[in-house]
Every structure is written in C-alpha cells, then in structure tokens.
A = this chain, B = another copy of it.
C-alpha cells in the first residue's frame, strides 16, 4: 500500500473507530487500486469476494435491469465501506459499483473479513455500525420514494447535500444531473422540471452549482424531517 493510500485510510471514520493497532491487523492484506471515472469495481450478479473501502473519489451503487435500464441506489463518498452485505453472506451482488470520479479503492477478501469480525471485537462493532448507518440511508430513500413527489425528493436531496441546515447557502454538486435523476428515481427531464418547480422555494443554480435562498423554507416545502 502506498504512503498516500495509508494516509487516506487513516482519515476514514472506520480507521478512527478501530484504532491503529486493530486497523493494522485488519488491513494487513488489503490491496489498493485506482478506478477511473466510469470504471467498475464489481458487477451485479457476481459472487462477492471482496469488501471495499473508498479511499478517495466517489462510487455509485447501480442496479442494472435488462429491460428498464440502470438506476442508482446510492452514492458513497470517500471513507465509506461498500458493499459489506454481499461479502458477509457469500452471495451475488445485488448491484454494480461504478466510480463516478477517479477513485482509489481498498479491497479486502470477504472470507478474511468474516474471520476478522469474529476475532477483532472492535471491527465487529465498527461493522455493525456501518451496516446500521447504510440501512438507515436505504430506509429514508424508500420513505421518500413511496411518499414524496419528484420535486420534494429533489429538495430533500439538496438539503442533505447542503453545508448548512438553515439560511442561505450555495454549494456544488459532485454528481451530474443524469445521475442525480437516477438516484432520485426519475428521468433527467423530470429532474429538470423538478428544479424549475423548486425555484418558487428559493432554489436556483446553473449546472452543478446550487443556490438556496433559505434552507428552512425549502425544508418546509419538502416536508423534510431531519432525522426521521
């Protein structure tokens, strides 16, 4: 493992939770690879042999359907573990993982990880916490898909990405709009119209640059509930 990769790894929440001693044992046999933007880390349907940690960049979990095309389940930023469930259960991946930016990906053998969870209690705790957090991301998304309109889902997504919880703000989206549309379960055309609708709620911006006049106003418009 390169020195820069080592440094990136040390910045992850997972490393902090484990502490240096445990982390050294856990990641001893891990390998790191570069995945270029658009490159694939693993394919849906393949039996999971490794579990990954994203050191830098961003990956999208993509569900590919032969007839209806691909859709994005979730984006994962640097520092996240993905996708533990398939590896822990020795089952085929339900989704593909594709880099949406040039990324450095650390990979560890799933079989070894299963042994380490049994042997290193700090890792077991960290792993349950990571799975639990991701579980909650998915539940939130299901709630939004079932209960909210396209523009409300977009509003909630923007609020989650915004650097502040109230007042005016502006920021840059890491994802291109086509991808955001897939993540939100709509077409790029509908996303464009959702943006148009949110102008009345104080959302403006060109391309990936977003400006929100008042995050609280937008929250109200989207019935965005912080934790729930």
Contact = CB atoms under 8 A, between A and B. Distances in A.
Interface residues of A, number: 52
Interface in A72-108: 73, 84-86, 88-89, 91-92, 94-95
Contacts of A69: 147
Given A67-B223, A85-B136, A138-B139, A185 B228 contact: no
Q: Please classify the interface of chain A as helix (H, G, I), strand (E, B), loop, or mixed, using the class held by over half of its residues.
A: helix
A213 interface: no
Interface centre among A138, A146, A225 (most CB of B within 10 A): A146
Interface stretch (A24-32, A117-125, A192-200, A202-210): A117-125
B142 A142 contact: yes
A189 to B, nearest CB: 16
Interface stretch (A5-13, A33-41, A127-135, A172-180): A127-135
A141 interface: yes
Specify how many copies of this chain sit in the oligomer: 2
A161 interface: no
Nearest to A122: B118
A227 interface: yes
B117 A71 contact: no
